[in-house]
Structures are given as C-alpha cells and as structure tokens.
C-alpha cells in the first residue's frame, strides 16, 4: 500500500474513532524507509523546517508548525509521523476537527488539539509562538477583503525566527486548474467568467475562487 493510501485509511479510522497507535506506526515506518516519493512541495516544507531546526537548535518535538488551511489533513499526518509533535492544522470545519482530535489525543497521549479552527476569525494560538507557517492551494480561496485579516493573524503568531511559505495559483497563470480552462480568466471579468459553467459550479466559484494578479499578493505579502 502506498503512503497516501495508508494515510487515507488512517484518516478514515480517525474520523470513525477506530484508529489505534499501530495505524500511525505503519505510516511512520513507510516514511522512515523512504520519503523520496513525497511531492516536491512537502519536501520543500521539510527543507524549510530543517533550516529552522539548525538555526534555533530545536528538535522535531519543539518546532512549532501551523498548516494554515490544512484541507484533508494529509500533510499534518505526515509531519506528525515524522516526529513534529508541535503542529496544528487549521480547518474551517469544527466537526471534522473534533473527530480527528478525539482519536489523536488517545493515540498520541496528549491533552491538546492537533486540528483547530478559527475563534471569531482569530487563530487560537499565542502571539510569537509559531516557527513555521505554510499553506498549499489556500490563498486563492480567500476573498480579497479577508486577505489582510488572514495575513495579520499569521504575522501575529509567527515567532521572530520563522518562515512562512504559501503555494497558490495566481491569475497570471496560463492554465486555470479549478475550471480546466486557459487564458479566459485573463480577459473576462470574474462574474462573466463564472457564468461559463453550470449552476452548481457557478455557486462554488462565486464563493470559493478568488484569483488575483500576482501584484495584489506582492503588495499584501510584503508586510508579513
């Protein structure tokens, strides 16, 4: 079984409350034997964390990490299995967080939550407490009027010795992967572009996809 199939099975067990320590051990063993099959973006995270470790002299257990928009939680599980115990995955669905946390508390013998959600728009972590913040394919789903708050919270919780890495598509990209179209998103206003698709897709695009030119992000990210 591949590492990602194993992780999918583990997440299903977490959600059902049936996960056991041996299930996480399987993932640890697979990663220990070979991490070359991990996607490049995860390898980049590991390189970043290694830089922080060398600079701060902290070990895996003490490097604080936030997956800001953790999706299904796959990367969080991988980092946990690699020994990065001070990690949080921020998810917008509280019910999913609860199911995962209940199982992980038992498996890891901890009394804190691995998966967290916003508290009145705030990340429930202390100021200056996080060494590494990352997101993958998240910023394009944050509405322009919420970008400032999204980045402000990262700026608040980051440690003086930290790295923040965001990977996401911008409007400049030739091919738009969410709609499998090319070039059209360059020229058409957002509302007209969205009307090219069926009603269900239109609703999703209107509420979840906010492509901006790279200059928009350069302006906002430079102050983080």
Measure the CA–CA gap between 161 and 132, rounded to whole angstroms. Answer: 9
**In the numeric block, which tokens belong to residue 62?**
């003490």
pLDDT at 223 over 70: no
165: helix, strand or coil: strand
CATH number at residue 23: 3.40.50.150
**Residue 194's domain spans which residues?**
170-217
Contacts 24+ apart (CB under 8 A), 6-12: 6/30, 7/74, 7/77, 7/78, 10/77, 11/72, 11/73, 11/74, 11/77, 11/100
Residues 176 and 161 placed together within one structural domain of the fold: no
Contact 77, 15 (CB under 8 A): no
For residues 173-198, average pLDDT? 95
Please report whether residue 148 resides in a domain: yes
Please report whether residue 222 resides in a domain: no
Question: How many CB atoms lie under 10 A from the CB of residue 11?
Answer: 20
pTM equals: 0.92
Tell me, what's the pLDDT at 222? 61
CA angle 46/176/163 to nearest 5° reads 25
83: Cα separation from own chain's centroid: 18
Contact 74, 7 (CB under 8 A): yes
Residues 20 and 79 placed together within one structural domain of the fold: yes
Residues 159 and 178 placed together within one structural domain of the fold: no
Residues 12 and 53 placed together within one structural domain of the fold: yes
Partner residues linked to 146 by β-bridges? none
Measure the CA–CA gap between 131 and 70, rounded to whole angstroms. Answer: 17
Residues 177 and 149 placed together within one structural domain of the fold: no
pLDDT at 1 over 70: no
Q: DSSP H helical segments within 134-198, as ranges?
A: 144-157, 184-187, 190-194
How high does pLDDT run on average in the chain?
Answer: 92
Q: At residue 210, what are phi and psi to the nearest 5 degrees?
A: -135, 75
Tell me, what's the pLDDT at 2? 83
Residues 58 and 164 placed together within one structural domain of the fold: yes
Contact 88, 66 (CB under 8 A): yes
pLDDT tens by residue, 135-156: 999 999 999 999 999 999 999 9
pLDDT at 224 over 70: no
DSSP 197: S
Residues 98 and 42 placed together within one structural domain of the fold: yes
Contact 211, 171 (CB under 8 A): yes
Residues 74 and 176 placed together within one structural domain of the fold: no
Residues 181 and 137 placed together within one structural domain of the fold: no
Please report whether residue 223 resides in a domain: no
For residues 162-185, average pLDDT? 95
For residues 8-14, average pLDDT? 94
Residues 188 and 156 placed together within one structural domain of the fold: no
Q: At residue 192, what are phi and psi to the nearest 5 degrees?
A: -70, -40
Tell me, what's the pLDDT at 34? 80
Measure the CA–CA gap between 72 and 99, rounded to whole angstroms. Answer: 13
What's the total number of domains in the chain?
Answer: 2
Which parts of the chain are beta strand (E)?
Answer: 65-68, 87-90, 115-116, 130-136, 158-167, 175-176, 181-182
Residues 177 and 129 placed together within one structural domain of the fold: no
Residues 149 and 53 placed together within one structural domain of the fold: yes
């Amino acid at each position: 079984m591949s590492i990602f199939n194993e992780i999918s099975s583990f997440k299903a067990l977490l959600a059902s409350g049936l996960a056991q320590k041996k299930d996480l051990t399987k993932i640890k063993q697979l990663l220990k034997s070979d991490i070359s099959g991990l996607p490049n973006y995860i390898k980049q995270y590991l390189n970043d964390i290694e830089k922080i470790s060398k600079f701060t002299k902290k070990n895996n257990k003490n490097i604080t990490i936030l997956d800001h928009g953790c999706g299904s939680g796959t990367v969080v599980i991988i980092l946990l299995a690699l020994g990065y115990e001070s990690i949080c995955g921020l998810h917008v669905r509280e019910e999913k967080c609860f199911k995962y946390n209940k199982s992980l508390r038992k498996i890891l013998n901890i009394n804190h939550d691995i998966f967290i959600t916003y508290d009145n728009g705030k990340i429930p972590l202390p100021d200056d407490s996080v060494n590494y913040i990352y997101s993958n394919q998240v910023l394009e789903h944050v509405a322009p009027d919420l970008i400032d708050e999204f980045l402000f919270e990262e700026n608040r919780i980051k440690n003086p010795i930290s790295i923040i890495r965001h990977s996401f598509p911008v409007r400049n990209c030739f091919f738009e992967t969410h709609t499998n179209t090319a070039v059209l998103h360059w020229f058409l206003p957002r509302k007209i572009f969205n009307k090219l698709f069926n009603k269900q897709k239109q609703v999703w695009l209107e509420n979840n996809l906010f492509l901006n030119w790279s200059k928009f992000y350069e302006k906002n990210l430079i102050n983080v």
